């Protein structure tokens, strides 16, 4: 009935959370979204992938989870949603912001679990979500490709591409509790220059591409 209304958002409660194939909710069930339970089932202990990555400093399990769940749903035309606080709640604001950045910028709608949230009052979080809305490369049906770094067990870099190919954005993230220089391998990325999304500064392309990041920090560059 609701589907007959036209331009609507449809998500089954708990769809994909009980280890069934989430793609079938899109291709067979007639829904157009499922929650990204590949990043964590919040009522099951030790399944919160983003939280574990930040706690251990090793982001490699995030990419594995996205490939197994998130990417398959997007390939079938489904939109993904993540309740960020339910999957990664930290007292340290820099850790919580990194969790939001991962959830939003890999291609998920980001929401809160129950009631008002302190996230809504955090200026940096608001800027992250506004940046996601402003850049087609970060929109939910765009593509993501992991890029190698010199230390994949400490850092995470990926290239986001708009569904219509109009924009590509490089995201670089530091999962360490100390400032780091992240070296990204850009040998598989065509383009002549990089432009930092915040401030619009042109950055010389080098390979490896060094990115200075604070503890639990991140930066984003449009690839020209």
| DSSP for 148-208, written as a single string | -BTTTTTEEEEEEE-TTSS-EEEEEEE-SSS-EEEEE--TT---S-EEETTT--EE---SS
The confidence score (pLDDT) of residue 112 equals 72
Nearest residue to 125 via CA among 150, 88, 156 = 88
Q: Is 157 within 8 Å of 149 (Cβ atoms)?
A: yes
- Encode 38-77 in three state secondary structure: HHCCCCCCCCCHHHHHHHHCCCHHHHHHHHHHHHHHHHCC
The confidence score (pLDDT) of residue 61 equals 96
Tens-digit pLDDT profile for the chain (224 aa)?
888 888 899 999 999 999 999 999 999 999 999 999 999 998 898 899 999 999 999 999 999 999 999 999 999 999 999 987 656 788 899 999 999 999 999 999 988 765 556 666 789 989 999 999 999 999 999 999 999 999 999 999 999 999 999 999 999 999 999 999 999 999 999 998 999 999 999 999 999 999 999 999 999 999 99
Which CATH number applies to 143-223: 2.60.120.590, 2.60.40.1180, 3.40.1280.10, 2.130.10.10? 2.60.40.1180
Domain ranges of the chain: 2-136, 143-223
- C-alpha separations of 115 from 68, 111, 118, 174 in Å: 30, 10, 10, 30
* Cβ atoms < 10 Å from Cβ of 18: 8
pTM of the model: 0.93
Residues 132 and 126: their CA atoms lie apart, in Å, by 10
Over residues 37-51, the pLDDT tens digits come to 999 998 898 899 999
Over residues 82-119, the pLDDT tens digits come to 987 656 788 899 999 999 999 999 999 988 765 556 66
């Amino acid at each position: 009935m609701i589907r007959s209304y036209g331009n609507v958002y449809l998500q089954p409660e708990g769809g994909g959370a009980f280890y069934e194939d989430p793609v079938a909710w899109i291709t067979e069930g007639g829904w157009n979204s499922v929650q990204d339970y590949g990043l964590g089932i919040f009522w099951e202990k030790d399944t919160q992938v983003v939280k574990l990555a930040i706690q251990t400093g090793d982001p490699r399990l995030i990419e594995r989870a996205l490939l197994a769940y998130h990417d398959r749903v997007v390939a079938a035309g489904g939109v993904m949603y993540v309740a960020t606080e339910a999957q990664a709640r930290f007292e340290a604001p820099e850790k919580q912001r990194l969790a939001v950045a991962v959830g939003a910028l890999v291609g998920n709608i980001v929401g809160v679990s129950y009631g008002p949230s302190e996230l809504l009052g955090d200026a940096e979080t608001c800027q992250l979500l506004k940046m996601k809305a402003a850049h087609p490369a970060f929109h939910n049906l765009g593509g993501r490709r992991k890029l190698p770094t010199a230390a994949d067990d400490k850092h995470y870099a990926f290239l986001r591409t708009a569904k219509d190919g109009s924009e590509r954005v490089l995201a670089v993230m530091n999962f360490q509790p100390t400032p780091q220089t992240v070296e990204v391998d850009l040998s598989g990325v065509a383009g002549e220059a990089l432009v930092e999304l915040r401030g619009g500064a042109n950055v010389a392309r080098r390979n490896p591409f060094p990115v200075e990041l604070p503890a639990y920090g991140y930066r984003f560059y449009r690839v020209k």
